[in-house]
Amino acid sequence: MSMQAAEQTTKILVLGSLSGGYRAADAVGQIHADYPSNTYILPILSAAMFSEAFYLNAFEKGIDAVIVMYSGTDSPYKGSAEQAAQIINRTYPLMKDRGLDTRRLRLVAMCTVCTAAFLKEITLMEQVLAEIGPVASELAQPAPELELA
């Protein structure tokens, strides 16, 4: 699948913390830089607000990739950076259990003026989606059989 085809048929959700990723997205807009129209940006207070079930549900509802752009250890909420990382790390095995490529979910620290880094992350995810295709193709696969003890 070409990057242009991936852009037309896939959806990328960016969860941008107000103290990091969302401001970077705003800075990208202020410099009039372009990013793919299949990118949806949601401002959030903290990435630690979202459970593993949120990400799995997003994929099941047709979101092909999620990039969590947070301010990392610069977060104004004590412990939220570590909590967000733990949630994402617990989500990866759940994705594997469902046959989902874990590259669909990415956690990145983003400063408020990192326009080049913001655009790079979107481009990298577009490349991943061009390689692996829409999430629907993975969800269409039969669920793996679980061994009962």
Evaluate whether residue 128 is within a structural domain.
Answer: yes
pLDDT at 88: 96
> In sequence order, which residues have a C-beta less than 8 Å from that of residue 140 and are 6 or more positions away?
none
**C-alpha closest to that of 55 among 7, 10, 8, 98:** 98
The domain of 25 spans 3-137
In a domain, 19, yes or no: yes
Walk along the chain (149 residues) and give the pLDDT tens digit of each residue.
555 554 458 999 999 988 888 888 888 888 888 888 899 999 998 888 999 999 999 999 999 999 999 877 667 667 788 899 999 999 999 999 999 999 999 999 887 788 888 899 999 999 999 999 999 989 866 555 545 44
CB-based contact 28:115 (threshold 8 Å): yes
For residues 52 and 104, the answer to whether their CB atoms sit within 8 Å is no
* Domains identified in the chain, total number: 1
What pTM, to 2 d.p., does this model score?
Answer: 0.85
Whether 7 is covered by a domain: the verdict is yes
pLDDT at 146: 47
Q: Which two tokens stand for residue 48?
A: 């630690």
Is residue 143 domain-resident?
no
Examine residue 145 and state whether it is found in any structural domain, yes or no: no
Q: Give the CATH number, domain containing residue 103.
A: 3.40.50
CA distance 113 to 103: 25
Angle at 32 between CA 26 and CA 37, to 5 degrees: 75
Answer yes or no: is 81 within a domain: yes
Confidence (pLDDT) at 145: 57
